[in-house]
Structures are given as C-alpha cells and as structure tokens.
C-alpha cells in the first residue's frame, strides 16, 4: 500500500504542515495505529466512491477528528498530482458534511469548507495564565475551539504557553491570533487535547478565523499567516456559509506501507 508525506500550505519542502496520505479501497481497521506510527498532526485516508467522489477521514496520533484542512489539501494533492485523476475538482464525504476541493494549478488547491461562527465572550483569566506574556484583548468561543485575541503579531509569535494548563481547557484547541504586519492576521493553534501540542498550519481553524476577522476588518477576502516554527500562508474568502481556503502543497516522501492494516 502506497503512502505519501505532503507538506501543505507551502511551496517549499520542510515548511507548512506535513500530513501522511493513504488512498485505499476501504478504510484500514488499524487506522488509528497507523496515524500514531506516522506521528504527524494528521494522517488522512481517502476511499474512492464514484468518479470524483471520495470518503475522507482524518486521524491525529490520538483521535479521529471531524475536520482537517491541511490533510485535505495534502490528500487532494496526491489525487491530482500523483494519481492523476481526470477531474478539476473532488467531492469529499466527511464527518463535517460534503466538502469540495478545486484544483487551481500544478500544486495549488482551494478548499470549500463550512463556516464556523464565533460566539460568546469568555472569561480571559484562565488564558492570561496560559499566555502570561501576552496582552489579551478578548477571548471567544469559536465552534469547537476558542479564539484568544492578542494586541499584536509579536505577542503571537513569541508566546510560550503553559501546556499543562492549556490541556485543562474544554475545547478541541485554542487559537492565538492578532492583526498581522504583512498579512491581514496571524495565528497559532494549540490542541494538546487531541494529541497535537502545536499544529504548524491549521486549515480548519480558519473556518472560524475568517468570519471573525472578516467582521473585524470589514472585508471578505483575506490573507493569513500561521506563525508556527514551520509557518504557512493561506489565501481566504468568505461567501455566506462557506469559507474558501487556498494553499499550495509539495510532496516530500513516497513509499510503501508494510505494516498490518487490520
């Protein structure tokens, strides 16, 4: 069984967010064990259904997740670039409903993902303890995540979170964000609860960040940078209840999986 490692949301190898990709006739019984063995933020499995339709599932080293942007980008890069499917778009059946991915160029793709709205203001005290050096302006519930707004980009980049305290927060992950210097906004994403202390570039977090920053900035087309150690660039657009996320991908490994699948 072939397996690929693809760096997503980057044009350069060893940047962006790596994902392992497997395309198979049926999902392996030991999918979680395979993801743990790969030990990347996500391992993605794609099962062909008919023509340009696939069933997609995403696994961190610890759990299966409902939505993942970078692994979707990586998986579709394999379909278009390596398996040479004869389509310009792929429709995906997922735990988050039907998703659409459009091929934009040789290694550029647009994800059509659900909008996830930001809601209640939360008490900032626990987050001041988690990010002691950052000046927090507000904390909001954001679907299954929490958005923490900082005063400026330096505070996002330089944040050293208390991961023990972070793991006590009842959310999939915590998004630290601020206005950007060269981009509309920057962010970092921490999700130790699902086995990912810091995710390098998180497409699904932008399902919340796009409506949040669109409202704050008064614009529906945005550019963003996820300021992790590896870093990644996202081109973004909000249209009603959908978020469009465009990024590049580059393959860094192609090999054979020799371990048991069941």
Of 42, 89, 153, 158, which is the active-site residue?
42
Tell me whether residue 42 is one of the annotated catalytic residues.
yes
Fold of 118-239: Diaminopimelate Epimerase; Chain A, domain 1 (3.10.310)
β-pairing, 42-50 vs 17-23, is parallel
Range(s) within the chain of domains with CATH label 3.10.310.10: 2-114+246-256, 118-239
Q: What is the pLDDT of residue 105?
A: 84
Residues of the chain with pLDDT under 50: none
Q: Model confidence over 189-214: pLDDT tens digits?
A: 999 999 999 999 999 999 999 999 99
Q: Could you confirm whether domain 2-114+246-256 is CATH 3.10.110.10?
A: no
DSSP character for 70?
H
Q: Model confidence over 117-145: pLDDT tens digits?
A: 999 999 999 999 999 989 999 999 999 99
Q: Confirm if 109 and 246 have CB atoms less than 8 A apart.
A: yes
Q: What is the rounded distance in angstroms from the CA atom of residue 252 to the CA atom of residue 247?
A: 16
Q: What is the rounded distance in angstroms from the CA atom of residue 151 to the CA atom of residue 134?
A: 8
Closest by CA to 29, choosing from 227, 186, 247, 262, is 262
What is the model's pTM?
Answer: 0.95
């Amino acid at each position: 069984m072939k397996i690929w490692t693809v760096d997503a949301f980057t044009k350069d190898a060893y940047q962006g967010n790596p994902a392992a990709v497997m395309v198979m006739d049926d999902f392996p019984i030991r999918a979680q064990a395979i993801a743990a063995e790969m030990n990347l933020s996500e391992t993605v499995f794609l099962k062909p259904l008919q023509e340009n339709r696939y069933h997609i599932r995403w696994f961190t080293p610890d759990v299966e997740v409902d939505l993942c942007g970078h692994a979707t980008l990586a998986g579709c890069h394999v379909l278009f670039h390596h398996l040479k499917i004869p389509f310009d778009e792929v429709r995906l059946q997922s735990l988050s409903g039907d998703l659409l991915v459009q091929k934009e160029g040789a290694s550029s793709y647009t994800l059509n993902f659900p909008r996830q709205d930001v809601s209640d203001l939360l008490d900032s005290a626990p987050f001041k303890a988690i990010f002691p050096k950052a000046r927090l302006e507000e904390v909001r519930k954001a679907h299954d995540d929490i958005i923490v707004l900082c005063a400026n980009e330096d505070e996002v980049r330089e944040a050293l979170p208390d991961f023990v305290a972070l793991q006590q927060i009842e959310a999939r992950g915590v998004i630290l964000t601020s206005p950007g210097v060269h981009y509309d906004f920057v962010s970092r994403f921490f999700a130790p609860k699902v086995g990912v202390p810091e995710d390098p570039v998180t497409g699904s977090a932008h399902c919340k960040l796009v409506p949040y920053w669109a409202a704050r900035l008064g614009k529906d087309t945005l550019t963003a940078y996820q300021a992790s150690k590896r870093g990644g660039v996202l081109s973004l657009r909000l249209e009603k209840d959908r978020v469009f996320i465009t990024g590049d991908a580059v393959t860094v490994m192609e090999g054979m999986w020799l371990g048991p699948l069941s």
